[in-house]
A and B are shown apart, each in its own frame.
Chain A
Amino acid sequence: MQTKFRTFVGETHIDFMSKDKLALGLSLAVLVICLLSLLIRGLNLGLDFTGGTMIEAHYPEPVAIPAVREALSKAGFDDAQSQYFGTSSDILLRIPPREGLGAGDISKEVLAALKQVAGGEQVELKRVEFVGPQVGQELVENGGMAMLFALLGIMIYVAFRFEWKLALGTIAATVHDVVFTIGAFSLFQIEFDLTVLAAILAVIGYSVNDTVVVLDRIRENFRKMRRESVREIMNASINQTLTRTIITSFTVFLSVVVLLIFGGPIMRGFSIAMLMGVVVGTYSSIYIASAGALQLDIKREDLLPKAKEALDNRP
């Protein structure tokens, strides 16, 4: 009596581990590109980290960016960057930190300048953000610390629940995802602000979540499959969790795409980072974590002594 399941993938028997060298090589190559880009191009850091003023303004009618630039330049804001924000009647201005002017003065002067644009008497300031240089510096430090602690905390948890080689593999996979995501922001010079950093922390959580499921199965199979080689066990575990990995990634992917489309421009950077994180995270939990542990020469004995859970008792 076999139930027919509705499925995309079905049962698979793919030999993932035969490609482990290839996958590791590919990942290394991409990581090198990401790191190089980070070194050379750096990140397009947002206002949260650089300090400065950001102003979002709304015109009742579509407005031409050159006209806005001209008006701003007349008012002495030559260094202001302006761009459309969502629609052609919304603009976003970025003004670097400047001497002697507080946020209030800047927004007042900018508002006056924006009113000079033809048809701009009704312009409305929707959002003003001012970040002092010292706050930006702190956010960079806190962000870095938060990421480090997240990685450390997860590593300790995985080492405690599983085993240190798997923990290292997990962290390798997670670092891989983080570097990849940040690297992509550097490569494409997408603005990196606080929400993106938040997304990256979420990616860390998500990526590990994904990996842990595979690890769980690897541990279980080490106890169940006594005759097979380590490589075979890894393969079997990945294949058995493959549907779950794909389905879960898909539902998270769906929710992130919805955010990207409907969440508005403020959440755009966040959604892009999450989107990349989900895709890379799925790949890395299949390959990097287990292949990494394999490289570290993980053995059956590494996982067996702690086998106190009643996982072997089939009902």
Chain B
Amino acid sequence: MLNQYPWWKYLLIGLILLIGVIYALPNLFGENEAVQISPARAAVTVDRALYDRVEKTLKENNIPIKATELDTVQRRLLVRFQDPEAQLKAADLLRNTLGRDYVVALNLAPATPAFLRALGLRPMYYGLDLRGGVYFLMQVDMNAALKLAEETYVDDVRVLLRDEKIRYVTVDRAVGGGIRVSFKEATERDKALAALQQKLRNLQIGEIPDSLDLKLALSEQEIKEKRDLALQQNLTTLRNRINELGVSEPLIQRQGADRIIVQLPGVQDTARAKEILGATATLEFRLVDTDHDVREAETSGRAPVGSRLYRDRQGQPVLLQKRVMLTGDYIVDAASGLEQQDGQPAVFVTLDSTGAKRMEEGTKDNIGKPMAVVFIENKTETRLVEGESRKSSYKVEEVISVATIRDRLGKRFQITGLDTEEARNLALLLRAGALAAPVEIIEERTVGPSAGQENIDQGRRSALIAFLVIVGFMGYYYRNFGWLSGVALAFNVVLIIAVLSMLQATLTLPGIAGIVLTMGMAVDANVLIYERIREESRLGNTPQAAIHAGFERAFATILDSNITTLIAALLLFGLGSGPVRGFGITLSIGILTTMFTAVTVSRAMINYLYGGRRLEAIPV
């Protein structure tokens, strides 16, 4: 008999559709306003005690809770509320009570019922244009990272030459990159060459013709490593800083060789976010030059050899030794608080063991002498000069405190001389670690929460209306078969939503447009089949034969036309970021689900309803 499927085929198709429906199900339940509490440091625990403490605090303040969920695996506590007002009140309250140990973030938690969550099912992941938030694309300044690496080598070379008692004139970064070491005598140079080759193997050493100078350069391998390291360190640092910001589901991702994507859903205060993300700050500890007169240096505008002139916050000149005792790289923790003795705001710094050793060595012979903390902020900006964009980075260096070394400093010490706010910010920047290389925001997209909701509404409305219009038309034009293609289209949309939920791919507004467009194109497969059936029928075939031939013959065409569309859709992935990529995603998924629903599901329905019977006329 024509047009009959074996029972297992119906079962299989039914099963696939059932799975699709189950995966799409979590999208029906919307979201709750929630507050997410996670530990700020690894040592802090998220447990039943915290759960009780939070519930008690909220109850005492008469803030109604919808539900509280403790997730010990992901180490977070989620408190759901009925309305945004309760959410905001609770967040403020909890921030105050829990203090610095926990990050309290606002969140829109999916209101998926527990039994679905237990199955690991989640609703679609909305893009920033639908949920509101900030998107940053940051460029890491690799030149600065390499410069930093070279500067470290300059120090190493100096130390090495001094230790080996080799006389040199200068060691400095060369103009076009690399390090240039100049000598007065050829014998000294040759000694240096031997020593450098032996001790600093990573460097490529060459002689500069017509001079007694040596040129040292980083190897390709090392340059690559430095770049990777700079990016990696930036990623880590950004992650830490974003934790400090209290965002519930941040995304920090590497893109290409020197870029980082940061997505902060729900963040509205972009100014503050950028202040914290963009600044690269580091500290340097230097000894104050007490052998020379500051005023003399200031009036002459020239610092004595081995020293440099700095300014403090009030603009007063300070003369510091050129040699850096310690950089901020060795800082493992920094906290702001009040000093015990006189209650002044202070930053408590903890160093790692290498840093502690260096600090110890640097301070042990200098007890009683003043030491300065220099705060260095790297800022980068792109300016348009005569229509071309040029990048320039500049350094802001400021002496933030000068204090007498009271004792040999080690692993832990404190910096004073700041006000409370400054201490807090400095601690935050230090704790998050100094960025290895400055980053610049080269793209930013912010969507307000109301705009996000509007986009969701417009998207949903468009999808619904498009669905009704298309199904209405198909039903009118192809009668019963047309309505069946409407059912297939509904399954198609369910499957698209299911696949999106399964993959947790990002749904954006253009993504919704992709779904709407898919609806319009999906019925094409049905149109092809139905037109073919009509044609076969006109040629005098019996209804069953016409239906059979229609499906069989249209299939090759459907395949061809869909594959070509898929090629174009896949290339959309390469187009920029975020929203537009979302269009490529839904369009591609839509094409695949269409192949299944419009051909297989439609056919199964038609076979089930009409197959194997005597048909007087074709219901198409």
Contact = CB atoms under 8 A, between A and B. Distances in A.
Interface of A: 1-3, 5-8, 11, 48, 51, 56, 58, 97-100, 102-104, 107-108, 124-135, 139, 142-143, 145-147, 149-150, 153-154, 157-158, 161, 194-195, 197-198, 201-202, 204-206, 208-210, 212-213, 216-217, 240-241, 243-244, 247-248, 250-256, 258-259, 262-264, 266-267, 270-271, 274, 309, 311, 314-315
A91 B382 CA distance: 28
B562 interface: yes
Nearest to B517: A255
Q: Is the interface of B mostly helix, strand, loop or mixed?
A: helix
Interface in B506-538: 509-510, 513, 516-517, 519-521, 523-524, 527-528, 531, 534-535, 537-538
A271 B520 CA distance: 13
Contacts of A204: 568
Given A126-B448, A153-B568, A267-B458, 5 more contacts: A142-B576, A204-B568, A208-B561, A252-B517, A256-B517
Contacts of A2: 537-538
Contacts of B572: 146, 198, 201-202
B365 interface: no
B443 interface: yes
11 contacts: A1-B617, A102-B278, A107-B271, A126-B448, A127-B447, A132-B139, A195-B583, A216-B561, A251-B520, A254-B469, A262-B461
Contacts of A194: 575-576, 579-580
Contacts of B445: 127-130
A134 B391 CA distance: 10
A11 B538 contact: yes
A146 B510 contact: no
B451 interface: yes
A263 B537 contact: no
A88 B234 CA distance: 44
A107 B473 CA distance: 47
Nearest to A240: B535
B446 A127 contact: yes
A158 to B, nearest CB: 7
Interface residues of B, number: 92
B90 to A, nearest CB: 24
A255 B583 contact: no
Contact of B513 (A124, A251, A267): A267
B528 A244 contact: yes
B268 to A, nearest CB: 9
A243 B529 CA distance: 12
A158 B563 CA distance: 10
B63 interface: no
Contact of A139 (B448, B520, B541, B576): B576
Contacts of B576: 48, 139, 142-143, 194
B548 to A, nearest CB: 6
B531 A209 contact: no
A240 B278 CA distance: 62
A99 B440 CA distance: 14
Interface string B588-610: 00000000000000000000000
A100 B285 CA distance: 31
A254 B473 contact: yes
Contacts of B26: none
Name the residue among A8, A201, A267 with the largest chain B CB count within 10 angstroms.
A201
A184 to B, nearest CB: 19
Contacts of B516: 255, 258-259, 263
Q: Which 5 A-B pairs have the closest CB atoms?
A: A255-B520, A205-B568, A132-B442, A205-B565, A126-B451
A5 B620 contact: yes
Given A1-B616, A132-B382, A254 B520 contact: yes
Interface stretch (B155-163, B428-436, B549-557): B549-557
B61 interface: no
Contacts of A270: 510, 513
Contacts of A5: 534, 620
Given A127-B447, A202-B587, A205-B564, A258 B521 contact: no
A232 B576 CA distance: 46
A158 B568 CA distance: 13
Given A205-B564, A205-B565, A198 B510 contact: yes
Nearest to B137: A135
A251 B139 CA distance: 44
A98 B137 CA distance: 18
Name the residue among B271, B443, B451, B469 with the largest chain A CB count within 10 angstroms.
B443
Contact of A212 (B474, B478, B509, B564): B564
Given A98-B384, A212-B560, A315-B545, A258 B469 contact: yes
A264 B458 contact: yes
Nearest to B389: A133
A195 B511 CA distance: 11
A243 B531 contact: yes
